[in-house]
Amino acid sequence: RDMASESFDPDIVFVKGGDSQTMIGFVGNYPNTQFVDLDQPVPCVDSGGRPDRSGACSGGVSALPGNYAVVTYEVEDPAYLAGVVAASASSNDRLGIISGMSDCEQCNRIIQGYVQGARSVEPGIAIELAYLADDNEEQAFSDPDSARTFAQAFIDVYQPDVLLPVAADASIGMVEAACESGVSVIGAGIDVSTEHPELETCVLASITKDIETAVRDSMFDYTSNSGSRQVRAMTLEEGGVGLTEEWRRSTTLPTDTPRLYEEALNGLITGAVEPCPDDCGAALPQAADADGPDADGPDAEADQEPAAEG
């Protein structure tokens, strides 16, 4: 909002890691600035384009302000592929997931797709899920040191041999803890092997998002006067999201892993495979009485049936 003020008066503002529901409340006050929300869910608005606190979202996409656009990433698709790889790679049939907070929709889409993909390979595989924080966003997504300690305790107790950290900047601490413990890692959000080559040996794959293309295409729409799309979906088929393939260099994965991967990939692209249930983005149910490794450690265990089955 400060950037859009008259003192700076930009033509276009990109926001990554913000809150689309908050942004939609003020963008109409700056009609001369185009706002593009990167990697956020479509905001809920009423028929007048205002934030809809009732959750009915009666306005839909057509009611979004003309100077606002949102870029969504279908991360559940590459997450499904990651689950296929992780379940194939696991030798003890135990996978671990540590997310930042339970109310992170994008995190939950990754988790749900990952669980679905893993169970498509091994329906009975154990999947343990925990969160770094309840409502402290800094601890949940910006504190790699605390996340590292948390992950070490989680690994000691639950003994997964593949870990999926989904906690933005805090994830790298968990990757380091996993690598030190001899646990394989699925990265999320960035290409871990490229950003942290010193950790490459323990990375099976990374779920990635193409931010650069989203920015470039939105800039082109704006400068060509064609108007930004209200919603731009970055898909697996178009390369907007993807899964890196370090796992193909592994000599320990079952020989049928490439076949399972290709079948899943084709199914996702054709729509034959559903990576996420109808409530995609909702937190998976947790065991209410599950104890964590210590007072500050994981406090939830998710060894449940596939998300699509409830």
- pLDDT, tens digit (0-9, with 9 covering 90-100), for 163-194: 999 999 999 999 999 999 999 999 998 899 99
Q: How many residues does the chain have?
A: 310
pLDDT at 301 over 60: no
State residue 302's pLDDT score.
42
Q: Where are the beta strands (DSSP E) in 199-263?
A: 203-209, 231-234, 241-243
Q: What is the Cα–Cα distance from 14 to 31, expressed in whole angstroms?
A: 15
pTM of the model: 0.88
pLDDT at 210 over 60: yes
State residue 279's pLDDT score.
86
Span 83-110, average pLDDT: 95
pLDDT category of residue 227 using cuts at 50, 70 and 90: low
State residue 2's pLDDT score.
83
Answer yes or no: are the C-beta atoms of 137 and 151 closer than 8 Å.
Answer: no
pLDDT category of residue 137 using cuts at 50, 70 and 90: confident
What tens digit of pLDDT does each residue of 41-86 get?
A: 899 999 988 999 888 999 999 899 989 999 999 999 999 999 999 9
State residue 304's pLDDT score.
39
Phi, psi values for residue 221, rounded to 5°: -55, -45
pLDDT category of residue 208 using cuts at 50, 70 and 90: very high
State residue 96's pLDDT score.
96
State residue 297's pLDDT score.
43
The residue whose two tokens read 């606190």 is 53
State residue 228's pLDDT score.
55
Write b or e for each residue in 260-285: b if 16 or more Cβ atoms lie within 10 A of its Cβ, otherwise e.
bbeebbeebeeeebebbbeebbbbbe
Q: What is the Cα–Cα distance from 262 to 273, expressed in whole angstroms?
A: 12
What tens digit of pLDDT does each residue of 245-285 get?
A: 999 999 999 999 999 999 999 999 999 999 997 788 899 86
State residue 117's pLDDT score.
98
Share above pLDDT 70 across residues of the chain, in percent, rounded to a whole number: 90
Q: What is the Cα–Cα distance from 42 to 61, expressed in whole angstroms?
A: 8
